[in-house]
Amino acid sequence: MTEFLASLDQNALLALPWMFEFWALPHQLPPSGAWKTWVIMGGRGAGKTRAGAEWVRAEVEGAGPGDPGRSRRVALVGETVDLVREVMVRGESGILACSPPDRRPEWQAARRQLVWPNGAVAQVFSAHDPDSLRGPQFDAAWADELGKWKKAGETWDQLQFALRLGKGPRAVVTTTPRNVGVLKAILKNPSSVITHAPTEANRAYLAESFLAEVAARYGGTRLGRQELEGVLVEEDEGALWSMQLLDRIRVDEAPAVTRIVVAVDPPVTANKTSDECGIIVVGADTRGDPRQWRAVVLEDASVKGASPEGWARAALMAMDRHKADRLVAEVNQGGDLVERLVRMIDPLVPFRAVHATRSKMLRAEPVAALYEQGRVAHVRGLQALEAQLCQMTVTGWQGSGSPDRLDALVWALTELMVDPAGHIGRPMVRSL
């Protein structure tokens, strides 16, 4: 870096602070290709606002201060006019702060607009007033925190009608993800592109005390997934599990158990694009009245793209880590080959083959009931599994691909709690 800086002349050094491409993080740079909407989705403090402001700059600025850029009419849309002004325009990462002195636009408060030296104009709009977007027309737009908008659908629709100038009008959306219909629809649109980053990605510009505090308080929770990891947490209508329920059952330390099983849901194929191999470890305290038994999900050891031998070894390693009593595996796809594969590695492994004779939803319902009764806990760090749980509904699986982690969990809890046919004797209590 020192050698590079020494090679620059005085003008280049003066320009360097304003060259965002040099300093930007990968998620802050526009993707290539002919997209119409770029969604920058990230956690709090991940640098979304700076990315949006710099994109507007890149759209309106030309080679020189007076030269035209790609866009000349820009819509700046936020939850309220005040938030647009204080965050998108005048904020620490807003347009004014990011603009070099010779290209800095003038803020005309009375007209709620920015005017650049080259004549480009950006107008301010509130998502509380979708009809204010009727009439004006634009060739670019920046929509901030769309997930919070009260009238998100109406405002976004009106903005699309207004983006009708130029050869290829485009919009950037900077938002912390929320489970709202308009955002999900934008993400699914073929003309949309997405970049994503957690809060942690921008740690160089954030206080260490802030990162430590929010990680300790919200790590492993639904709110943490949304606000820190920048992940869209979806809960489909009629879901058998909810994130609110899962937030309540997490524990910092696993309770004592008497049995532990590792359950496997093998993929049909074995390559980089195949479904995951679900491998879930669950323990249960099976002393006394079965109606009082309690279980705890100890680990999600699932693997993706592994060979049959690879996922078999991963399952056996999980058994060894937790000193599990039994390996349970669904054999609908592989039949006896699944057991033979496992026994090639460990001939003495306690193994039980299970067959899926009912739908995933019907198998999952009695397991979901255990959660509703407060009889299942989760150790922290099972976010991928929990995301799948929230997409299993009374009408079936609503996610993409196969819910392999969920399937493995269902087999494990069925073995331990729903239909404990393999329960023999009363093993010694284990403190984990």
Confidence check: pLDDT of 233 > 90 = no
Tell me the mean pLDDT in the region 139-163.
93
What does the DSSP assignment read for 382-425?
A: -HHHHHHHTTEETTEE-SSS--HHHHHHHHHHIIIII--TT--S
Residue 338 or residue 56, greater confidence: 56
Q: How far apart, in Å, are the Cα atoms of 4 and each of 7, 8, 11, 12, 17?
A: 5, 7, 14, 11, 14
Confidence check: pLDDT of 47 > 80 = yes
Confidence check: pLDDT of 376 > 50 = yes
Tell me the mean pLDDT in the region 162-178.
93
Confidence of residue 7 (pLDDT cuts 50, 70, 90): low
Confidence check: pLDDT of 368 > 80 = yes
pLDDT tens sequence across 87-134: 999 999 999 999 999 899 999 999 999 999 999 999 999 999 999 999
Cβ atoms of 250 and 380 within 8 Å: the answer is: yes
Cα atoms in the Cβ-side hemisphere of radius 13 Å centred on 320: 9
Lowest mean pLDDT among 16-30, 252-266, 288-302: 16-30
Tell me the mean pLDDT in the region 48-61.
94
User: If we measure between CA atoms, which residue out of 360, 361, 46, 351 comes closest to residue 205?
Assistant: 46
Residue 38 or residue 208, greater confidence: 38
Q: What is the pLDDT of residue 75?
A: 97
Please state the φ and ψ torsions of residue 7, each to the nearest 5 degrees. -80, -10
Q: What is the pLDDT of residue 2?
A: 67
Confidence check: pLDDT of 161 > 90 = yes
Confidence check: pLDDT of 148 > 70 = yes
Lowest mean pLDDT among 8-22, 369-383, 388-402: 8-22
pTM across the whole model: 0.60
Q: What is the pLDDT of residue 125?
A: 97
Q: What is the pLDDT of residue 241?
A: 92
pLDDT tens sequence across 342-354: 999 999 999 999 9
Which residues, 6 or more positions from 134, have their beta carbon under 8 angstroms from its beta carbon? Answer: 158, 161, 162
Tell me the mean pLDDT in the region 8-28.
72
The pLDDT > 90 percentage for the chain reads 55
Cβ atoms of 104 and 136 within 8 Å: the answer is: no
Q: What is the pLDDT of residue 423?
A: 46
- What's 275's DSSP letter? P
What distance in Å separates the CA atoms of residue 206 and residue 203, rounded to the nearest whole number?
5
